[in-house]
Chain A
Amino acid sequence: MRILLVEDDPDLGPAIAKALRQEQCVVDLIADGVDAAHLGDTERYDAAVLDLGMPGKDGVTILTEWRAAGRTLPVLILTARDGWSDKVAGFRAGADDFLTKPFRIEELTMRLRALVRRAAGHAATRIVCGPLVFEAQTGQFELDGLPLRLTALEWRVLSALMLAKEAVIERLDLLERVYQGDADVGSNSLEVIIGRLRKKIGATLIETVRGRGYRLTAGAAT
């Protein structure tokens, strides 16, 4: 998952980013409202975590502008303001979820996974593709009913493909969802990861769409 994290607190922002990265998310941490609004407009994220009190531009304004511009990016508001009026105002502005500080990282991860899953059009938490089963809330993969062991990078690629099931993910999108910033790609190039995944789940499930990207499909497997 590629997450836009908008949080101006110099301690909390990096702490959340670190925790989310441990949960296999790719996180862009932004501490300024204007920059955040711009990134949300131009980059492709799976979800945004938005603090309400921001320098430059406050969270509700950013959200209102995104929604007015037709951006469907799932947004979770993360705020210290825990009054019901604040929550109502957040939802009115177009928020998809609301979490008050302090919170547990597990809860934030769960809520983000649910947001991304629903945004991808999956109502159920269990996503099936041929012999492959993905528990979207816990992040567990099963192949033919047995747990599938994956490295972090493999998991990032396969979960993105699973959520986008049957749809093509462009190569660039996939890269952005897999690599955190200036991470050393080196021997772990996307092609290498795809190759390793094909060895684990069978060569036919991941289809290369020439000139565009990849897609996960059960059609070829059956």
Chain B
Amino acid sequence: MLALSALATIVALVIAGALIAGVLGRFVTQGIDRRLDANLALMASAVSRNGDIDWQRLATVQASLDAEPGWRWRLDAPGRAIGSADTLVIDPGPAESRRSSPFPPDREHPGSAGPPHADDHGARPLEGHDRAGAPIHARQTTMVTGTGPVVLTAAAPRDVIARPVMSALTPLLATLAALGTVLGLAAWLQIRLGLRPIRRLRAVIEQVRRGEADAIDTDQPVELRALAEELNALVHDNDMALATARASAANLAHALKTPVATLALELAGDPRAGQVDRIDATIRHHLARARAQVASTRVATPLAPAIDVLIATIATLRSDRAITIGATVSPALIVGIDPADLDELVGNLIDNAVRHARTHVHIVAQPTDRRVALTIVDDGPGIPAAERDNATAPGVRLDERTDGHGFGLAIARDLTELHGGVLTLADGVDGGLAVSVTLPLARRH
């Protein structure tokens, strides 16, 4: 676009230069024409009404006619001709140029007074060249006398017109070129400066998208303020849509699970109860997935309190298991995960560990550069290394009523990956399982 505007500027400057050169040429030509017409008038003053040439008068004006080098004159009377030494080759002027007379109107009326007896057509411009081939500009007029027409011609070298035009045009073109350069630079600078707030806005939008900022600062240039406000509204709408999607998922769960619960009770002991279990497993699976696919990242949740309350909850829920649950989590750790997602992720992992542990479960949080590695270790039977890849595959053991490691691990893995982390399985204590997830640390505002 910058190149296009530069090209347009250059074209405009070239056109301006050409126009100015044309106007200048016309002005200079008019000046020369006036002097040539004056010479014609001098020559006419040496011709009498009956066509005789006043030689004495001609000798007087000849000095004026020959004043400058290259200027020529010629007088063609019937039967004789007199003029500058070299003969001129004159092209007949274009038809229309005969009409435009440079003479003031009063000069066109010989009857008023004064010596020149130019005919009604006035002087006409002619182009030609001298014997050496140098172009000339000439003016010609025909006097009607008693003995016949007398043709007067005055000529000046074309050079006389071209030289002042060139000398005027050179500084002009230089000025125009300089102007063009300055204009181009100014345009470039204007675009760069003008686009700077947009670049800054883009950076802020990226921060919002990555969860480093909550909203776009509306302290923007006037032109961008409305845009920033619209973007904030868009972010807000997005948050609302996210909340609505989650609420819809939860409502769907509630709506489906109550009738499924009724069916399960009424079919207790019936072989068809297995179908109810499958319905339940499918609902659980897809709702958990739906929740895991709409995670928000623009949040900051303290890790330690969330884990503490989950431990208390699970210890109560699994009080029949008599498992001790310990945790080593620094209170300073704050993760960039929605509280509900964090509960779901860590809750599933701890619950899994408690269900499979023999005596105890331990939770360790180890911060790294921008993430925290959360490891949940149990002393249960573990998962053989060969089956670990399978263990987090979606749908594994879904058909079992008491879901094994699979379901909780698959949900935890989905949520972890949604937040850019990884879930890894390793050996725990005494052959147990150690599940490790990397969670994003919340960015400082």
Contact = CB atoms under 8 A, between A and B. Distances in A.
Interface of A: 9, 11-12, 15-16, 19, 53, 79-85, 87-88, 91-92, 96-98, 100-105, 114
A11 B309 CA distance: 34
Contacts of B259: 9, 11-12
Nearest to B319: A114
A88 B313 contact: yes
B254 A102 contact: no
Contact of A102 (B261, B317, B339, B348): B261
Interface string B184-216: 000000000000000000000000000000000
A21 to B, nearest CB: 12
Residue among B256, B291, B316, B351 with the most chain A CB within 10 A? B316
Interface in B230-270: 250, 253-266, 268
16 contacts: A9-B258, A11-B259, A12-B265, A19-B265, A80-B253, A80-B258, A81-B254, A83-B250, A83-B291, A84-B343, A87-B317, A91-B312, A97-B317, A98-B313, A98-B317, A102-B263
Given A11-B262, A102-B276, A114-B320, 5 more contacts: A15-B266, A80-B258, A84-B347, A85-B343, A98-B317
Contacts, number: 89
A101 B250 CA distance: 13
B266 A82 contact: no
B257 A80 contact: yes
B386 to A, nearest CB: 30
A28 to B, nearest CB: 18
Contact of B261 (A81, A96, A101): A101
B272 to A, nearest CB: 14
Interface of B: 250, 253-266, 268, 276, 280, 284, 291, 309-310, 312-313, 316-317, 319-320, 339-340, 343-344, 346-348, 351
Given A83-B250, A84-B310, A84-B348, A12 B261 contact: yes
A-B residue pairs, 7 tightest by C-beta:
A84-B347, A80-B257, A101-B261, A102-B261, A84-B343, A102-B264, A80-B254
Contact of B258 (A12, A83, A104): A12
B260 A102 contact: yes
B258 A85 contact: no
B313 A87 contact: yes
